[in-house]
Amino acid sequence: MDAIIGRLATSLFGRPIAPCYSSGRMASTSHVRILRASDHPNPVRLVAEGLTDIWSRRRLARYLVEADLAKHGANTVLGNVWWFLDPLLQMIVYVVLVSIIFARPTPDYPLFIFAAILPWKWFSSTVTDAVTAVTTRERIIKQVAFPKLVLPVAATASGVVSFCFGLVPLLGLMIAFYPDRLSPFLVLIPVVAAVQFLLTLSVAIVLSAVNVFFRDIGNVARHALRLAFYLSPALYSIDHLASKPTLQQLMWLNPFTTLFESYRNLIYDGTWPHWDALVVLSVVAGACLLAAIALFKWLEPSFAKVL
Amino acid sequence: MNASSGEPSRPATRAAGGSVDAPPSSARADLPAIEVRRLGVRYNLRLTRRRTVRETFWNAFRRSNGPTHFWALRDVSFDVPHGETLAVIGPNGAGKSTLLQVLAGILRPNEGEVEVRGSVSSLLTLGAGFDQDLSGYDNILLAGAFLGIEHADMERRLPGIIEFADLGQFIDAPLRTYSAGMRARLGFAIATAVEPDVLIIDEVLATGDAAFREKSKARIVELMHAARAIVIVTHDMSWVREFCTRAMLLEAGRVVALGDPDEVATLHEARSAERQAQREAELRRQLGAVI
């Protein structure tokens, strides 16, 4: 795989990507590192460097994820049970809120919102963790040269694990209470999740880098996430807005409209997801990811000075 | 030389997995391990200074508000051949740590050029990447991954690191149960176990108890004999005189003297004493004014 990346780089730039600055390799005795004042950064090169960074340090990412998961619920009585309990309790809160207080008549409402809460929890907790992913590693960033891009990537990857744990209570809920809603479409969940992963990773990378310079990001993100949740069709369906066609159109600009509706197609309705919207979203999210990597790599050299 | 370095180090990396202990290839042995040419490092004060939002807004309106840049290092040039130990000395704030950060690849130069031949290990502060909740064993693996050591290589070195750190059963206990000395021992063991071509050390020799200090001294002397280049920042002039082959005196980001360790150390001591005397005289004058 390294060889493939090397060849790819050679064909893209006419020369191999030397680990020029941040990816010094210990084990090699024959390796020269030249550091000089940076010239104007080339976005394509930044992206290529970023992808090499992630691939060459996948083991570091794995260790960081493992350390993160080991800590989850480490000092609690119930420990690992919280993996399953957390999303269930959150669902119950919304069920109580919406079905009792607002008395909105949607059949099988718990399943209806569970299909949206699960992916939302994944997104919001990943974003919250990723904001501080770089800044909490301040000490080692100042003392060891390593690709910092690994940090938001690891934060996002541990979010994937908790999302997968959340699928277990979802299945349990369906088998126990809504067996008639079980459908083969459930196996398509990873496809929608992959699109969401691209989007989550781009947001995580951008915020982790910007937070180094503006520590206010954490506070802003908390409220922005809450607002985004209510603006997305999580507790309601986009069909409920049929009386306001303009608003409904605008809602489709929100990536989570596509995601939530698609998850709900698979889990709640048992139909095909919105393929057209999903394809558009995955292209946009992919482009965002490349831009995010370029931005991160561009800011990365300043981290050690600013932190 | 650049023709050979232009080739990717990737295939070599694999091959080197088993032969890291071999001395640097003969082709490079005559070239210095580190070459620094007119290095300058600049800090942007607007970004670095922690400010409140109000200050940020004020500064946006009054743009020319004090100096915007600060040169931590300027016009620094030197070589470190293989087998040499260079001591970097100087008063606080002279730019010593910044220099080490550049050599370790953590900071990028704003001016000039730095060339480092061979693998680098930095002991800038021991145990920087440690995770309090992981065991000593897991922390060794994590530190190895941060340093970018190949996994197979790291596994081969694990027994040696564990033995050198001498933690007994604590190796499986979470790091937060460790004493400061144990942590320093583990950090030192990891950083020196990787047998780098270039070792960068910042004031870490005074850690641990007397026995470990002796052991670490012996280890560094061993690394020096293995034809590795070492750059060390220290305030301990006896170390400079005893173990270093050259010394460089930095003041305010510029090289004041570079040469024989004894002479440079003596110069540094003389200048420090002079500054101290000036400070005392100034203090006495101020005190006199108050009284």
- Summary count for chain B: helices (H), strands (E): 12, 9
Q: Rounded mean pLDDT of B68-81?
A: 88
pLDDT at A224: 93
| B111 closest CB neighbour out of A37, A57, A70 | A37
Q: What are phi and psi of A45, to 5 degrees?
A: -65, -40
| A301 closest CB neighbour out of B43, B108, B141 | B108
Sign of CA dihedral B131, B132, B135, B140: positive
pLDDT at B286: 87
Question: Is the pLDDT reported for residue B92 higher than 60?
Answer: yes
pLDDT at B47: 65
Question: Is the pLDDT reported for residue B28 higher than 60?
Answer: no
pLDDT confidence bin for B57, thresholds 50/70/90: low
| Rounded Cα gap, residues B148 and B245, in angstroms | 29
Q: Which of residues 76-95 of A touch B (CB under 8 A)?
A: none
Per the rule left: phi > 0, alpha: psi between -120 and 50, beta: everything else, B42 is beta
| Rounded Cα gap, residues A299 and A18, in angstroms | 19
Contact A29 B118 (CB under 8 A): yes
| 3 state SS of B282 | helix
Residues in CB range of B159: below 8 A, 6 or more apart: none
Q: Which residues pair with B230 in a beta bridge?
A: B85, B199
Residue A139 touches chain B, beta carbons under 8 Å: yes
**Direct distance between the N- and C-terminal alpha carbons of chain B, in angstroms, rounded to an integer:** 67
Contact B108 A38 (CB under 8 A): yes
Q: Which residues pair with B86 in a beta bridge?
A: B231, B246
Contact B114 A34 (CB under 8 A): yes
A contacts of B102 (beta carbons < 8 Å): 35
DSSP secondary structure letter of residue B69: E
Q: Which residues pair with B42 in a beta bridge?
A: B71
Question: Is the pLDDT reported for residue B94 higher than 60?
Answer: yes
CB B33 within 8 A of CB B198: yes
The token pair at A225 is 């996430």
Residue A41 touches chain B, beta carbons under 8 Å: no
pLDDT tens, residue by residue, B180-207: 888 888 888 887 777 778 888 776 555 6
pTM (two decimals): 0.80
Residue B84 touches chain A, beta carbons under 8 Å: no
| A145 closest CB neighbour out of B44, B104, B196 | B104
| Rounded Cα gap, residues B74 and B252, in angstroms | 9
CB B129 within 8 A of CB A144: yes
CB A198 within 8 A of CB A282: yes
| B20 closest CB neighbour out of A27, A63, A140 | A27
Q: Which of residues 112-141 of B touch A (CB under 8 A)?
A: 112-122, 124-125, 128-129, 131, 133-134, 138, 141
Residues in CB range of A48: below 8 A, 6 or more apart: A8, A9, A12, A13, A17
pLDDT at B26: 41
Q: Which of residues 196-235 of B touch A (CB under 8 A)?
A: 196-197
B contacts of A48 (beta carbons < 8 Å): none
Residue A208's nearest CA partner among A262, A132, A276 is: A132
pLDDT at B66: 62
| A144 closest CB neighbour out of B118, B141, B147 | B147
Residue B87's nearest CA partner among B253, B249, B232, B289 is: B232
pLDDT at B8: 37
Contact A57 B145 (CB under 8 A): yes
Mean of pLDDT over chain B: 78
- Interface size between A and B, measured as CB pairs under 8 A: 182
Question: Is the pLDDT reported for residue B171 higher than 60?
Answer: yes
The token pair at A88 is 């269930």
B contacts of A17 (beta carbons < 8 Å): 8
Residues in CB range of A254: below 8 A, 6 or more apart: A228, A231, A232
| Rounded Cα gap, residues B62 and B83, in angstroms | 52
| Rounded Cα gap, residues B222 and B219, in angstroms | 5
> How close A81 gets to chain B, by Cα (Å)?
20
ipTM confidence = 0.75
Of A263-267, B58-62, B82-86, B276-280, the poorest mean pLDDT is in B58-62
Residue A3 touches chain B, beta carbons under 8 Å: yes
Report how far Cα A240 is from the mean position of its chain's Cα atoms: 28
Per-residue pLDDT of chain A (307 residues; tens, 9 = 90+): 444 444 444 444 433 333 333 333 333 334 677 777 666 678 888 898 889 888 988 889 999 998 888 877 666 777 778 878 888 888 888 878 777 776 666 788 888 888 888 999 999 999 999 999 999 988 888 888 889 999 999 999 999 988 888 888 888 888 888 888 888 898 999 999 999 999 999 999 999 999 998 888 888 999 999 999 988 888 888 887 778 888 888 888 889 999 999 999 998 888 898 899 999 999 999 999 999 999 999 999 888 888 7
| 3 state SS of A128 | helix
Question: Is the pLDDT reported for residue B271 higher than 80?
Answer: yes
Q: SS3 string of A183-233?
A: CHHHHHHHHHHHHHHHHHHHHHHHHHHHHHHCCCHHHHHHHHHHHHHHHCC
Residue A172's nearest CA partner among A230, A87, A251 is: A87
| 3 state SS of B2 | helix
Q: What torsion do the CA atoms of B287, B288, B289, B291 make, to the nearest 10 degrees?
A: 90
Helical segments of chain A, H only: 2-13, 43-56, 58-71, 82-95, 109-131, 138-143, 150-177, 189-213, 217-231, 245-251, 255-264, 275-306
pLDDT at A197: 95
Residue B48 touches chain A, beta carbons under 8 Å: yes
| Rounded Cα gap, residues A252 and A232, in angstroms | 9
pLDDT at A103: 67
> How close A143 gets to chain B, by Cα (Å)?
6
CB A71 within 8 A of CB B133: yes
Chain position carrying tokens 């970097």: B88
Contact B108 A57 (CB under 8 A): no
| Rounded Cα gap, residues B69 and B44, in angstroms | 5
pLDDT at B58: 64
DSSP secondary structure letter of residue A96: I
